[in-house]
Structure 1
C-alpha cells in the first residue's frame, strides 16, 4: 500500500472515531410523587410535589461510594462504647459484608474489561522452520513474523454504551454494599439491645423470686403461729416455683441472642459474650427525620435501583447499536526471510492496512428480539425504582408511627407500674398485720411482675424502633449535619 493510501486510511479512522465519541444517551430516573414532610404522627404531610431525579446536590449513579451522609457513626448516639466496638468489629469481620465487597471487586474488574473494547488490539505471530533434505543438497532455514493491529470503530456508540453499562453496574454493586453494611450495622445494634434487655428481664425475674421467697417466709411464720393455713403455704410455694421457672427460659433466650450477635460479628458463639449490664446504660437518641425527598440521595437501595436503571438504559443502547454494521480497521506489518539474521532487513518487510464492514442481513430476528428484551428489562427496572422509593417512604412512616405509639404506651405503662408497686407494698404490709389475705398479696405480686416485664419489652421496642428509623432513613438525622457531624461513611 502506498504512503498516500495509508494516510487516507488513518485519516478515515480518526474521523470515524470522532463520530463515535458521543456517549450513550441516558434518561433521568422516573418521577415519583413525594410528600413535603412528615407529620407528628409519622404520616406524610399534605402535598405531593413531583420528584424525578435525586435531590439537589445528589451525585450521579456512577459516583464512587463516598457519599455525604448526615451522620457517619449514628450508632454512637446510643452512648455505648461497647456497642461502638462491636459495630466496628462487625464492619470488618461480617461475612455478608465481605461477600458484598467481593462483588464490588468483581464489578470493578468487569468495568475494566468493558473499557478494553475502546482500545485497539495488537497481536504478534512468529514462526521459524529448518528443512533438511534426506538426499543431497543443503539445509535451508526460513523465518517469518508479523504484528497485527485491529480496531473496531465505535461509530454507533455500542462500545461506549457497554462501558457505561459496566460502570453503572459497578455503582449498583457499591450501593448494594452500602445497603448490606447498613443492614448489618442495624442488625448488630438491634441484637445488642435485645441482649441487654434480656439482662434486665433476668434481673427483674430474680428480683421477683426474692420477693416471693420473702413472702414465703412470712407465710411460714404465720402458719407456725396458726395465722395462715396450709393452703396458703402451698400457694406461696407454688408462686415461688413459678417465678423460678421463668429464669431458665430467659437464660436460653439470652444465649440465643448472644449467639445471633456473634454470627453478625463473624465470631463463634462459644468464644463470645457481652458485658453484664442492661438498657440503663443506653441513651435514647432524639428523633428528627428530615425531609422525605432526602431519601433519594441517602438510601443506598434507592441509589442502587437508580444505577441498575442506568445500566439497563445503556444496555438498550448496546442492543440498538447491534442492529447496525460494525466497522473494523486492521493494520499489519510482517517480515519473511530464508535467513534468520536477515529477517528484519528492509527488503523483507511487508505492511498493509485494511478496513472491513460487517452488517447483519438475516439472523432470524435475534438482534431485534434482544433489543426488545433490553427495552422490557428497562421498563421492569423503572417499576422497581418506583417501588423502592415508595417502600422507603412506607418504612420511614411505619418507624415514626411506632415511635409515637410506643412513647404513648410507655407513658401509660409508667403510671401503671407506679400503682402496681404501691399496691404490692400495701398488700404486703396489710398481710403482715393480718388485714389482708394471701390471695391479695399474690395478685398484686403477679400484677407487678407482669407490668415490669411489659415495661422492659416496651423499652426495648422503643430503642429498636429508633434503630429501624435510622435504617429506613439510610443513616442519621439531617439535624446531625447542621450540628457538625462526622465525615462521610458508607453505612
Structure 2
C-alpha cells in the first residue's frame, strides 16, 4: 500500500503543478476597453456664451402658469414615465443578481434517501465486511437497505479569479445608470411634447378667432352684394361667388375645431387622463418669448443631454460585456463546502458524533467545442461597436438639433416681422377694395381676392408665431432641459 500512496502524492503534485501552470500562463487582458471619445465643435454658430437655457427649470422658462400646471400633472401621471421607473427597477434587480453572484450561496438542506446494495457490489461487500468487525455494534451496524439522512448547510461559491463576476456587476450597475438617463430622456421629451401641444392649442384658438372675424366680414359683404344685385348693379354670379367664399371659410372653421379636439385629446393622453377640456392662458399673439435665449457650447450638451448620456452608459456596459465574454474562455474555480449532521439512523442523526464537514474545490475550463463562447464573444463585440455608433449618432443628432432650433428662432423672428407688415397692408387693401366696390370702381372678384388674402396672411402669421414657440421648445429639449 505504501507505493500506492507515494504514487498518489506524486499524481497530486503533478496536478497541482498543472493547475498552477495553467493559471500563470493565462495572459489574456480582461479589463474593459475604455470608451472612445467623440469630438464636438467648439461652438454652434460662432457663439461661445457658456450660459445655457437647458439648465433652467421649466417653471423659469415657461411663463404661462397653465402650461406649468399641465407639465406638473404630466410629471405625476404620465404612463411612459411610470414605465420608465419600472425599467429602472428591473435594472436594479439585475444589478442585485450580479452582486449576489460574488458571494457564496448557502442553502439550508434536509435530505433523506435509501439504497439497497446488492451482494456483489462494492458497497454491499464493504458494508457486510465492516459489520463483522468487533468495533461495530449497536447503532453503528450498517443496515441494508441503507438509509441516508442529512441536515445542515451546503454552499457553492465561484471564486472570481479573472474579474468576470466583478465585470458583470459593473455592467449591470452601468445599465442602472443608463436606465436612469432613459427616464430623464422621457421627462425631457414629455415636457417638450406638453409644451408643443399647448402652444399648438393656443395657435388653433387664434386661428379660430381669426376665422370667426372673417366670417362676420364675409357675411356683411354677402349682404351688401345682395343689396346691389337687387339694385341691378351686379349679377347673381357675384352673389354666388361671395356665398361660396363664406361657405369655404365656415368649412375651414370646422376643420380647425376638429384639430382642437384632437390636440386636446393628445395632450390629455400625455397627462394620463381621459379627454377633458384643457385650460388655456393668453392668446399666442400675446405670449412673448423669454429674453436672453442661449445654448452654451457643444461640450455642455454632451454632459447634459440624457440620450447622449444614456448612449455613453450603454457603450461602457457593452465594452464590459466584451471583457466578460473573453473571461469565459478561462477556467473557473468553484468551491462547494458543506457542514451538518449525517447518519444512516434517524435516532443518532443529531448526535455530535454525526457531525460531518467537507469541502470540494474544482477548476474547470472549456477545451473542446468552444463555439458557444466564440459566438458569444462575436456577438458582444458587434454590440459594442453598435453602441459606439449609436453614441456617435446621438452626439451628431444633438448638435444638429440645437443649431436648427437656434436658426429657427432667428429666422422665424424675421419672418414674423415681415408678415405683420404684410397683414397690415392687406387689411388696408381689403378696406380700400370694399370702398371702391361700393362706389363702382372695383369688381367683386377684387373684393373676394382681398378678403381671401387677408385671411391667409393672418393665418400664416399665427403659424409663424407658433413656429417660434415650437423652436424654443425644440431648443430646450435639444439641450436636455426639463428633467432636473
Give the TM-score taking structure 2 as reference length: 0.80
Given that residues 90 and 265 in structure 1 are in contact (C-alpha distance below 8 angstroms), is that contact kept between their aligned partners in structure 2?
yes
CA contact (8 A) 1:166 1:311 kept: yes
Are the equivalent residues in 1 in contact too, given 2:206–2:284 (CA < 8 A)?
Answer: yes
CA contact (8 A) 2:54 2:295 kept: no
Higher mean Cα deviation, 384-393 or 119-128? 119-128
1:5-24 aligned at under 5 Å gives the runs none
On the 8 A contact 1:199/1:277 being kept in 2, the answer is no
Structure 2, unmatched stretches of 5+, are 1-28, 115-138
**What is the CA-CA distance between 1:184 and the residue it aligns to?**
1.9
Pair 1:278-2:262 in alignment: no
CA–CA separation in structure 2 for the residues paired with 1:69 and 1:148 = 56
Measure the CA separation in 1 of the matches of 2:425 and 2:168: 70
Please name the residue that 1:374 is paired with. Answer: 380
Partner of residue 121, structure 1 = 105
- 2:54 and 2:477 in contact (8 A); partners too: no
Residues 64, 281 of structure 2: 8 Å contact kept: no
RMSD: 2.8
Report the counterpart of residue 321 of structure 1 in structure 2. Answer: 327
Superposed structure 1 runs of 4+ greater than 6 Å apart: none
The structural deviation recorded for 1:346 is 2.4
DSSP 3-state at the match of 1:122 = strand
State the match for 2:219 in structure 1. 213
Deviations for 1:6-49, whole angstroms, at most 9, x for unmatched residues? Answer: xxxxxxxxxxxxxxxxx973444322221111227xxx89xxxx
Match of 2:402 in 1: 396
Judge conservation of contact 1:78–1:282 (CA < 8 Å) in 2.
no
Greater mean alpha carbon deviation, residues 272-281 or residues 416-425: 272-281
Where in structure 2 are the equivalents of 1:224-243 lying within 5 Å? 224-243=230-249
Look up the SS of the partner of 1:475 in the other structure. Answer: coil
Q: How far apart, in 2, do the equivalents of 1:168 and 1:336 lie?
A: 45
Which one has the largest radius of gyration? 2
How do 1:335-346 residues align onto structure 2 when only pairs under 5 Å count? 335-337=341-343, 343-346=349-352
The alpha-carbon deviation at position 439 of structure 1 amounts to 3.0
CA distance in 2, matches of 1:453, 1:439: 21
Partners of 1:148 and 1:387 in 2: how far apart?
51
Tell me if structure 2 keeps the 8 A contact 1:199–1:276: no
Q: Secondary structure at the match of 1:279?
A: coil
CA shift for structure 1 position 234: 3.2
Shift of 1:223: 3.8
Aligned positions of 1:84-483 closer than 5 A: 84-127=68-111, 143-269=149-275, 271-275=276-280, 278-280=283-285, 282-286=287-291, 287-337=293-343, 343-475=349-481
Residue 376 of structure 1: how far off its partner (Å) = 2.5
Which residue number in structure 2 is paired with residue 63 of structure 1?
Answer: none
Instruction: Rate the CA distance shift 1:144–1:238 in 2: closer, same or farther, 3 A.
Output: closer
* Structure 1 counterpart SS, 2:268: helix
TM-score, with length taken from structure 1: 0.79
1:434 Cα deviation from its structure 2 partner: 4.2
Write the distance in 2 (CA, Å) between the matches of 1:330 and 1:160.
20
Deviations 1:68-107 (A, max 9, x none): 9712326x52311111111122222222222222111111
In 1, distance between residues paired with 2:54 and 2:454? 44
Which of 51, 63, 66 is the equivalent residue of 1:79? 63
Asked if 2 retains the 8 angstrom alpha-carbon contact of 1:80 and 1:281, the reply is no
Structure 1 residue 441: deviation in Å?
2.3
Instruction: Tell me the alpha carbon deviations over residues 192-230 of structure 1, each in whole angstroms, 9 at most, x when there is no partner.
Output: 111111111111001001111222333334444444444
Deviates more, 1:310-319 or 1:274-283: 274-283
Shift of 1:305: 0.8
